[in-house]
């Protein structure tokens, strides 16, 4: 049985707060320590829509309050209550401390979530019983350099890194390099660098292929490119992609990672990305094939399928 669950919720949604209260009750009844970020506890206490019993639990010590730097330390699992955006925010803690993450979907599509809100009590019971399997999802390691190739900063992404224009009226001019060889150059609205996990998110909306999660691939997808050849490229685990920003982009560009973290890219700057050695580990209870998940989440038509008989 797990000693501690770190709880991470969308504190602005009543449904998430009610679900959080149920999880706290379940864990306390089983003698398992529930922990939560200080900032989330304060948000819950200050929210007039928070259930009264949950506010008391945040105030009387039943829920351990932790700071972000130590949040994952000592926890056996990060349990997330919310949509994909909430799961992406929680994944930073899970990855930093190598703690498995399990998402309960309270959003819309919820591709990253493993469970639904209606199954919450059963989900907690099965996780505590250790019935889950660990699924390691590849992440991107991303570095940014200036025009003189001096290191500017680094970050990572579970879904995608998006190099996007800053001026609505102008395209961003880029050159694409794969494994230190030039491949193409064009003007575009953005370039997405996506993982297999991210292939069903922003990259999917941009026309990229759906890639099965166990494939450690890096996809390069130009958005609205003014070019004859601007098809998505799918790279293997050993490849490195670089996107160079031409110096005539006067205002530079922005590199956004998982829709949350952001790094500026100056004119003439360079973004390098590859598959990281550090994944995000998901605790899975649903062992259904990915094809079934795809059909369910996207509501794909499968009428006429007869199978093997």
Q: Would you say 75 and 97 are in contact if contact means Cβ atoms under 8 Å apart?
A: yes
Q: Which residues contact 195 (CB under 8 A, 6 or more apart)?
A: 137, 138, 139, 140, 157, 158, 159, 160, 217, 218, 219, 275
Any catalytic annotation for residue 84? yes
Starting at the edge strand that comes first in sequence, how are the strands of the sheet with 151-157 ordered?
151-157, 140-145, 270-275, 240-245, 172-178, 181-188
User: If you compute the radius of gyration of the chain from its CA atoms, what whole number of angstroms results?
Assistant: 21
Active-site entry in 70, 84, 135, 179: 84
Active site residues: 84
């Amino acid at each position: 049985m797990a000693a501690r669950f770190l709880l991470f919720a969308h504190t602005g949604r009543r449904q998430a707060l009610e679900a959080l209260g149920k999880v706290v009750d379940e864990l306390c009844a089983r003698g398992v320590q529930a922990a939560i970020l200080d900032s989330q506890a304060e948000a819950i206490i200050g929210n007039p829509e928070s259930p009264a019993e949950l506010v008391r639990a945040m105030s009387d010590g039943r829920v351990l309050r932790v700071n972000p730097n130590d949040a994952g330390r000592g926890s056996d699992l990060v349990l997330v209550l919310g949509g994909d955006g909430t799961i992406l925010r929680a994944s930073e803690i899970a990855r930093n401390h190598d703690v498995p993450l399990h998402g309960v979907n309270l959003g819309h599509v919820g591709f990253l979530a493993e469970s639904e809100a209606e199954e919450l009590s059963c989900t907690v019971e099965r996780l505590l019983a250790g019935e889950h399997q660990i699924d390691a999802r590849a992440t991107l390691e991303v570095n940014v350099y200036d025009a003189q190739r001096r290191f500017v900063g680094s970050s990572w992404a579970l879904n995608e890194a998006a190099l996007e224009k800053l001026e609505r009226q102008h395209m961003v001019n880029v050159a694409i390099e794969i494994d230190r060889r030039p491949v193409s150059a064009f003007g575009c609205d953005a370039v997405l660098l996506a993982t297999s996990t991210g292939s069903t998110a922003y990259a999917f909306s941009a026309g990229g292929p759906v890639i099965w999660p166990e494939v450690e691939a890096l996809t390069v997808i130009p958005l609205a490119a003014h070019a004859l050849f601007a098809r998505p490229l799918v790279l293997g685990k050993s490849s490195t992609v670089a996107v160079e920003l031409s110096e005539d982009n006067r205002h530079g560009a922005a590199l956004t990672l998982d829709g949350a973290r952001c790094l500026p890219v100056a004119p003439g700057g360079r973004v390098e990305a590859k598959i990281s050695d550090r994944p995000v580990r998901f605790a899975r209870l649903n062992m259904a094939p990915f094809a079934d998940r795809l059909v369910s989440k996207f509501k794909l038509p499968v009428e006429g399928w007869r199978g093997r008989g």
